[in-house]
Structure 1
């Protein structure tokens, strides 16, 4: 008599599927509302702490750096103790640290707490899609992944939109506290809703006949095409975060004089990425991954140049174009990585995340060194250089594998 059939994943319409969908959406909100909440209060934080715009941006960079350095470690931990348990541990730690951030006695303490908060948050993006792929039937995994990504997008937007206006009517501490409370509610929803894992098999430290972690990492780092894709995440994400870090300072200053409660509304442009990341797959199918990537970078550069205009409407139009171009480029590059990184695909994706959030940390701060003395024009030139380098590396090293149209491209927002 044969035993029960192996678990193939929750199917769409089942109770387990619905709980997974709602839980992963909540996890995305809990993670990314906290990660970028400080970005909405940077002008207020700069004034309250008496630091320059570039130093204030370190509050964002500290968290994304913590996330960047933790993602590979979290992926290893999740292999041992289970995806759900790792995510639960991560989100609880992140919420506790997030609630401590508004109590930071000084700027250096704030940076330390933000770094630890980011390191804890790293357990969610490092693990969520692996958890999903093990627990959702393969036929429905793409839809479920899209729900998680939408949660990350809306979480990042909500964190910025809540914190920004509250920083004007109260303080940056009240703004970030409100976001941390929202994240706590979302974290509780995730923990309560997430179904017990049925498809997880613990990964031994070294499976017989399989390469170890170091060999998998080296196999990816020795691949020039993967390095070119990691550079896209590093350089393009760095420029993207820098724009949103410093544009608020520009809009609050002459000639615009936009109040902080309205400045935070520029983050609504972020939603253009929800549309463009889906279109990226269609463009890659029709024209090929490399043309789609280079075209997306071109849209980014065009939108960025438009933000130089002294007209508020044109600045916002440019920001929408820039944001749409970024998410399209990111969708093409991140979806390309696992197709090239066949040895250690989990590690190839983790390395892309590492580059992506390192770029956010490094250039999200470094562009401020051009913004402080030279204003918005200096920041734009710096970011345009990053985009040109990214496009040049893609054209040099990705042409052989991406010039032709393809059948399917995985898009991530």
Structure 2
């Protein structure tokens, strides 16, 4: 294997790796968030509450969190590509089964299984890229992979509203099942086998000790908490936006509401912009600026103007992806070893925020409506960074 070298952009396989993982990432994140615009449909069709409908997202995320930990362990020992291919196949099958059931409970069970399955891609993809691609070129492939996350999440939401409004959500799921089948076949054809993977000989107990080590680090705990907080605010807005826009004074259709998800495109700009700004200013100041932009965007959404709401969503996405990308990238600088475990814990905290923002805010929305929800979600990140600043200024610190 001495003649092998890590792929560079001059190698055909570099682009095979990049394209196959970008397409898989696009599908996985479209799968994850496909149901978010459908909550009002589930409320009406199954006769359930908003919090119950949102379980179709939060249980998928719960499955993802469980899978990230477990599959991450197995990926370190049994390879990368098998789990990434299995993720696409496993995420596809429930889309072909769910339309056959009229039970919301069965739908939730299949969405949980789907979450466990799709975790195989994020659990192995970044490690695979760093193993197989030259260190000077890996940032290009990684940027395309992460950009596909945002594009997949956006496309999954936009198509959900449009196709459901004109056809049905069953049709949308069959379409996603067809796309997933195509993506799986493309991965089999395009994705090169691992050449530099070296199985970990450490025990699972060692990995668990690494998690425990990070959870005792107060600085990392603050970072994990930040991930939960700004994801809660971000997801909370998107979860209840369709219900708000369906009511007075807007009375918009699901297809019209789905167009608002194009604001996600601003997030694709936010990540590289954050990296550029962090090269000219301190990472902490750029991240805090992103959080202020996020909160300002949410607060703007108290308006009854469609155009102001659209502006607010753009600011929300810009601020969120700025804060998220810099928080995620700072993990590696804060730890000297077990970096993979630290990154995994940040992803877990990030997705806990998705669960909180989608399923835990129902009582708040029921009690105070859109206005109360927006005020709380806009102040939550500001209150958190205020508490962090206060705790750092105490004499004991």
Query: Same fold by TM-score, threshold 0.5 exceeded?
Result: yes
| Partner residue, 1:82 | 79
Structure 2 counterpart of 1:372 = 366
Match of 1:48 among 45, 48, 58: 45
Question: How well do the aligned residues superpose, as a CA RMSD in angstroms?
Answer: 1.9
Aligned match of 1:403? none
Tell me the residue number matched to 1:165. Answer: 162
**Greater CA deviation, 366-375 or 247-256?**
366-375
* Aligned partners of 2:298 and 2:313 also within 8 Å: yes
Task: Give TM-score, length-normalised by structure 1.
Answer: 0.91
TM-superposed CA distance for 1:396, in Å, is: 5.0
Post-superposition Cα deviations, 1:148-204, rounded to whole Å, max 9, x if no partner, equal 112212211221122211211222222233223223322321222101111111111
Show CA shifts across 1:8-43 (max 9, x none). 311112111111011111110221111000012222
Query: Which runs of structure 2 are paired with 1:11-50 in the superposition (5 Å)?
Result: 11-50=8-47
The whole-number CA distance in structure 2 between the counterparts of 1:107 and 1:379 is 27
Residue equivalent to 1:408: none
Secondary structure of the structure 2 residue equivalent to 1:197? coil
Match of 1:346 among 340, 344, 349: 340
Q: Does the CA-based 8 Å contact 1:163-1:178 persist in structure 2?
A: no
The residue number in structure 1 matching 2:253 is 259
State the distance in 1 between where 2:357 and 2:238 align.
Answer: 12
Q: Alpha carbons of 1:106 and 1:135: their partners in 2 closer, same or farther (altered >3 Å)?
A: same
Q: What secondary structure is seen at the aligned counterpart in 2 of 1:127?
A: helix
Residues 1:393 and 1:212: Cα distance change in structure 2 (over 3 Å):
farther
Mark the runs of 5 or more structure 2 residues left unpaired by the alignment: none
* Deviation by residue 1:371-397 (Cα, 9 ceiling, x = unmatched): 233221122133134313432355357
Provide the secondary structure at the position in 1 that maps to 2:310: helix
Q: After the TM superposition, which of the residue ranges 40-49 and 312-321 deviates more from structure 2?
A: 40-49
Q: Distance in 2 between matches of 1:330 and 1:394?
A: 17
Q: Does 1:152 align with 2:149?
A: yes
How far off its partner does 1:368 sit?
2.4
Confirm or deny that 1:68 pairs with 2:65.
Answer: yes
- Aligned 8 A contact 1:30 1:187 in 2: no
Q: CA deviation at 1:312?
A: 0.8
CA distance in 1: counterparts of 2:185 and 2:223, whole angstroms: 36
In 2: Cα distance, 1:104 partner to 1:124 partner: 27
Matched, 1:92 2:89: yes
Deviation at 1:73, TM superposition (A): 1.0
Return 343-352 or 106-115, whichever deviates more: 106-115
What's the CA shift for 1:5? 3.1
Match of 2:98 in 1: 101
Contact in 2 for aligned 1:22/1:190 (Cα 8 Å): no
2:273 alignment partner, one of 279, 284, 287 = 279
* Change over 3 Å in CA distance of 1:397–1:65 after alignment to 2: farther
Structure 1: stretches of 5+ with no match in the other structure: 400-413
User: 1:394 and 1:19 mapped to 2: Cα distance?
Assistant: 44
Stretches (4+) displaced over 4 A:
396-399
Give the Cα–Cα distance (whole angstroms) in 2 for the partners of residues 160 and 278 of structure 1. Answer: 23
